[in-house]
Structure 1
Amino acid sequence: MAAYEDQHVHQVYDKIASHFSATRYKPWPIVHEFLTTLPPGSVGIDVGCGNGKYLNINPNVFIVGSDRCENLVKIAKDQAPTQDVATADILSQPHRPSSFDFALSIAVIHHLSSPERRVEAIASILELLKPAGEGKALLYVWALEQKNSRRGWDENSEQDVLVPWVLTKQFKEPSKKKKMGDSTESESTSGPSTENTESSADNEDSKPFLRYYHLYKQGELEDNVRSAGGNVLNSGYEKDNWWAIVERTT
């Protein structure tokens, strides 16, 4: 499983990091609300922080960032120089247990390729939180139920899929700087959408990079949280994603 994820998740994000980052700059509304309502002085962690777009949302809290992709970590460090960002795997965090008031994991857990590894990932996040209701985490995963999306996934679709990402020409050339509005991905104006970034159809020389996703069905995220030893405080559906705010039970 780890080797499969290395090929279809980690290696892909290392290659598409700049292009991916160009589509991720506007905060997802529920994440923004979660961060801006935290008590001043709170200390948290963004597990799978990507380009670090959430690290500076609330200047009254401190967020440690971590991501498995070294190239995204470099971008995050540039965008959030006052925050601490490290390269780390979600299943092997270098931080002390029970250290954080809050945690984020936005569009990360669905990249784990087995039920056991997804539960383990949630357990690793819960372990970082302060115990007995003192800490809380916000989790986001792609939803299976997407009848109104371009992809049209629904409850009868396969849950384990490979989603293509086409690296457009400008991002193949390191000398060119990325521009915020250049992506065709809908997420660039909203949040962690399930739409993949694709170049125009006439860009035939673009090679698609296939990313693994597990598409969560309704109730599955909550079940995973309970299996990991957590308690669900709130949960819902937002633009092709399932989300949950969770805490430790001990």
Structure 2
Amino acid sequence: MSINEQNASELELQHVHNVYENIASHFSETRQKPWPNVVKFLSKAVIGSIILDVGCGNAKYFTDTFNIFQLGCDRSRQLAEICRTRNHQVFNCDCLQLPVRSNCIDFCISIAVLHHLATPDRRLKALTEICRVLTVGGQALVYVWAKEQKRNSSLSTYLKQSKTNKINTETLNEGQSNKNYHINQIKVDLPVHTNRSNFIHNDLLVPWKLNQKKLEGNDPKTHLRYYHVFEETELRLLCEQIPNCKIVDYYYDQGNWCIIFEKLI
């Protein structure tokens, strides 16, 4: 059975939302350095701007600027709590239905979130929600994982990290899925990706191994996160379906497809 609207929600619950609740602390420890092009986008904010980070994680893109109002939202209660301990204004919600009134956000970012949604319709709905909350002339930046992790003979940061994990070049360049994982409740089989290798499937499960020191006992726990990795034009084509959306820029950045769009009316 393929992924459809009926089973997508359950798939995301099991292999996105529940996983992030379990790995939140370890995930936050590994997500400290902001990506330069995201910081560059946010630097366009002027005094009085309202910024919303959809899927804010541990709020690594929040700054100490006092004349700009920063809001974050995330589905994970554990990650939101980490943000609150850092005195950030965050709330819990699903990106498919943002509890934010229309036409009030000047700049919105959603970094590495959309690729956790399991159908094209759900991905389009999330993008449409982002556009809805923007002011007229407001802009959004969205990053998604690219299926293409080697571009112009250059390896993405994701693949380069394989050297640390001592994965050889042959495995790195070929990519592989070492098994299929059957999700009984929704009757879906998805390939399990080999970390730090090229993607050969669009829909897959990517292992996250918790740091052994963070666990009770001796055996590290591996969680499987669902991803949809994007083809080159896929994100652009989704945004082109939003009537009041103008694409400002579309680019590839270290293994991600990235789009900046502006709300017209």
Bin for the TM-score computed over the shorter chain: 0.7 to 0.9
Is the Cα–Cα contact under 8 Å of residues 136 and 248 in structure 1 kept in the other structure?
yes
Listed one character per residue, the Cα deviations across residues 57-78 of structure 1 (whole Å, up to 9, x for unaligned) are 6444211110000000000111
TM-score (norm 1): 0.82
CA distance in 1, matches of 2:205, 2:79: 21
Is the Cα–Cα contact under 8 Å of residues 97 and 126 in structure 2 kept in the other structure?
no
More contact order relative to length (CA 8 Å, sep ≥ 6)? 1
CA RMSD of aligned residues (A): 1.7
Is the Cα–Cα contact under 8 Å of residues 120 and 228 in structure 1 kept in the other structure?
no
- Code of the residue aligned with 2:112 in structure 1: it is A
CA distance in 2, matches of 1:223, 1:54: 27
Deviation of 1:39 (Å): 1.5
Q: 1:120 to 1:208 in 2, by over 3 A?
A: same
CA distance in 1, matches of 2:134, 2:61: 18
Does 2:64 align with 1:49? no
Residues 131-210 of structure 1 mapped to structure 2, 5 A cutoff: 131=136, 134-147=137-150, 148=155, 149=159, 150=162, 151-153=196-198, 157-172=200-215, 205-210=219-224
Count of equivalent residues: 215
Listed one character per residue, the Cα deviations across residues 198-220 of structure 1 (whole Å, up to 9, x for unaligned) are xxxxx982221000011011111
Deviation of 1:116 (Å): 0.6
Does 2:16 align with 1:9? yes
- Code of the residue aligned with 2:120 in structure 1: it is P
Residues 215-226 of structure 1 mapped to structure 2, 5 A cutoff: 215-226=229-240
Is the Cα–Cα contact under 8 Å of residues 41 and 62 in structure 1 kept in the other structure?
yes
CA distance in 1, matches of 2:25, 2:242: 33
CA distance in 2, matches of 1:163, 1:58: 35
CA distance in 1, matches of 2:117, 2:204: 12
More strand by share: 2
Which residue in 1 is equivalent to 2:111? 106
Which residue in 2 is equivalent to 1:32? 39
Deviation of 1:228 (Å): 3.0
- Code of the residue aligned with 1:214 in structure 2: it is H
CA distance in 2, matches of 1:218, 1:58: 35
Is the Cα–Cα contact under 8 Å of residues 35 and 58 in structure 1 kept in the other structure?
no
TM-score (norm 2): 0.77
Deviation of 1:92 (Å): 1.5
Does 2:65 align with 1:65? no
Structure 1: gaps spanning 5 or more residues = 174-202
- Code of the residue aligned with 1:212 in structure 2: it is Y
CA distance in 2, matches of 1:37, 1:60: 13
Which residue in 1 is equivalent to 2:189? none
Q: 1:58 to 1:137 in 2, by over 3 A?
A: farther
Listed one character per residue, the Cα deviations across residues 181-200 of structure 1 (whole Å, up to 9, x for unaligned) are xxxxxxxxxxxxxxxxxxxx
Which residue in 1 is equivalent to 2:172? none
Q: 1:117 to 1:25 in 2, by over 3 A?
A: same
Bigger Rg, structure 1 or 2 = 2
Is the partner of 2:100 in helix, strand or coil? coil
CA distance in 2, matches of 1:47, 1:102: 11
Paired-residue identity, %:
42
CA distance in 1, matches of 2:116, 2:64: 25
Residues 79-98 of structure 1 mapped to structure 2, 5 A cutoff: 79=86, 81=87, 83-98=88-103
Does 2:131 align with 1:117? no
Which residue in 2 is equivalent to 1:194? none
